[in-house]
Amino acid sequence: MLQVILVTFAILLIVVVAMAIGVIFGRDAIKGSCGGISNIDGLESACDFCSEPCEKRKQLLAIRDSDSNNMKA
């Protein structure tokens, strides 16, 4: 039983180290999507790094606004 736990821990440790090495050599920062929680109605943005919505988000907001205006008419 202890052997299984140690092997599992070693495998997870190897995976974490490999991911860290990939990030270090890839020079890409780990970042969020800046759109996941913002897709909830009533929230404009939940990401502090996005100064303004991306083009895809702007299109989604425009479609949603036009749909809500069409429903009112």
Q: pLDDT for 5-35, tens place per residue?
A: 999 999 999 999 998 888 788 765 556 555 5
> 8, 10, 12, 60: which is closest to 33 by C-alpha?
60
Report d(CA 5, CA 11) in Å as an integer: 10
**61/44: higher pLDDT:** 61
Mean pLDDT within 42-61: 69
CB 53 within 8 A of CB 64: no
Domain hosting 48: range is: 2-72
Percentage with pLDDT > 90 across the chain: 25
> 57, 30, 56: which is closest to 43 by C-alpha?
57
In this predicted structure, what is the pLDDT of residue 15?
94
Neighbours of 14 (CB within 10 A): 10
Kind and range of the H or E run holding 31? none
pTM for this model (two decimals): 0.37
Q: How many domains does the chain have?
A: 1
pLDDT at 46 over 60: no
